[in-house]
Amino acid sequence: MMLNASTAIVRTLPAVASAIANGRAVVALESSVLAQGLPIPANRTAARAMIEAVESRGAVAAITAVVRGVPAAGLTDDELERFLAREGIAKVSARDLGLAIARAADGATTVAAALTLARLAGIDVLATGGIGGVHRAPPFDESADLAELARTPMIVVCSGAKAILDLRATAERLDTLGVAVLGFRTAELPAFYGAESGIPVQRVDDEQTIVSIFRAQRALGQRSALLVVQPPPAPFALPGSVVERAVVEGVRESTRAGVQGSAMTPFLLAHVDRATAGRAREVNLALLEQNAALAASIAMALARTESS
């Protein structure tokens, strides 16, 4: 039997494997947002809402993670429960994948690591809340999400980079790395908790155009991801001034507390959530669901064009 090495290294569940084999729509989801980014029980609400948003549009959802050392695209119910309980689940970025596998650890994958696993499994579309980027305070920690986006040809749907970051510096890095950013029905890079950043992006108005651009990039042999951004649902959006105050305060506290590395993003997200009395969590849930839904429609459009 011919064994495809890349599908063999990443374990897929039967539903995911058969969808991939038959060219049907699949959406990869990352798991760090569930195990580190959101508190209990909001993380469960998020997981349910994202899976439902994907499935109700006719696509198959595949949560990526390292499960007791096994890189996976698609979790069983029991596995998902373990990740939602958060305890003993490491945050795994691209550089940590090998370590998590060798140690047979449970690892929740960031966008960077999720891209690696999803790509190997043969999935073209991934949804998340907000990608990582360039942090605001010295040493200006930069998420490995950016480097992986630069070398993974997939469509990634998000609400821009998280507003805890320096959005201008992040946009510049994406530019330098050659990552195309498309605003879905917007000409402005969203600011995660709200619609406005003042940073322009190319606007597209339908899924088919996104698919055409993705196919053109692929035909050119370009290796970078296509980043599709949309603002959070308007009723949940937070005023920029409220977010800004909470972030500035959070950054100051993180410096005082000596927070570093992979702990930084979860620390800042939790701070903004507290400072906004949970409103940040509400918008985070709403945008995760909306991004999963858009990712599913794009994956459906992609599957239609590939089969024709």
Stretch that binds ligand PSU, among 28-36, 200-208, 218-226, 294-302 (CB under 6 A): 28-36
Exactly one of 71, 107, 130, 190 binds ligand PSU (CB under 6 A); that residue is 130
CB of 241 to ligand PSU, least distance (A): 21
CA 199 to the chain's CA centroid: 20
Query: Which of Mn ion, ligand PSU, none binds 148 (CB below 5-8 Å, type-dependent)?
Result: none
CA distance 129 to 192: 8
Per-residue CA distances from 204 to 48, 84, 182, 222 (Å): 28, 35, 6, 20
Q: Is residue 128 within the footprint of ligand PSU (CB under 6 A)?
A: yes
Q: Give the integer Cα–Cα distance in Å for 257 and 85.
A: 26
91 is catalytic: no
263 burial type by CB count under 10 A (0-12 exposed, 13-18 middle, 19+ buried): middle
CB 266 to ligand PSU: min, Å? 7
Q: How many residues does the chain have?
A: 308
Q: Is 145 in the site for ligand PSU (CB under 6 A)?
A: yes
Residue type, 192: F
Q: How crowded is residue 15: how many other Cβ atoms within 10 Å of its Cβ? A: 15
Q: Which stretch binds Mn ion (CB under 5 A): 9-17, 133-141, 195-203, 289-297?
A: 133-141
Residue 3 has a CB neighbour count (10 Å cut-off) of: 7
32 touching ligand PSU, by CB under 6 A? yes
**Which span sits near ligand PSU by CB under 6 A: 9-17, 52-60, 137-145, 250-258?**
137-145
Are 30 and 109 spatial neighbours (Cβ–Cβ below 8 Å)?
A: yes
> Looking only at Cα atoms, what is the longest distance across the chain?
60
Residue from 30, 79, 96, 141 in contact with Mn ion (CB under 5 A): 141
Which window, 118-126, 140-148, 194-202, 237-245, contacts ligand PSU (CB under 6 A)? 140-148
Minimal distance, residue 40 CB to ligand PSU, in Å: 14
Q: Which stretch binds ligand PSU (CB under 6 A): 6-14, 72-80, 124-132, 231-239?
A: 124-132
Q: If you ran DSSP here, which 8-state letter would residue 34 be given?
A: I
Least Å distance, CB 116 to Mn ion, is: 16
Say if residue 139 is preceded by a cis peptide, omega within 30 of 0. yes
Look at residue 30 and give the partner it binds from Mn ion, ligand PSU, none, a contact being a CB closer than 5 to 8 Å depending on partner kind: ligand PSU
Set 79, 91, 148, 162: catalytic member: 162
Please measure the distance between the N-terminal and C-terminal CA atoms of the chain and give it in whole angstroms.
Answer: 29
Residue 148 in the binding site for Mn ion (CB under 5 A): no
Would you state the structure tokens that stand for residue 47, as one six-digit string? 């997981």
Respond yes or no: is residue 162 known to be catalytic: yes
Residue 129 sits in the site that holds ligand PSU (CB under 6 A): yes
**268 touches 251 (CB < 8 A):** yes
- Cβ neighbours of residue 305 under 8 Å, at least 6 residues apart? 208, 211, 215
- Give yes or no for residue 284 binding ligand PSU (CB under 6 A): yes
Least distance CB 23 / ligand PSU (angstroms): 28
| 110 or 276: CB nearest ligand PSU | 110
* Cα–Cα dist 203/137, whole Å: 31
Residues that bind ligand PSU (CB under 6 A): 30, 32-33, 37, 93, 110-111, 128-130, 132, 143-145, 262, 265, 269, 284
Residues belonging to the active site: 30, 162
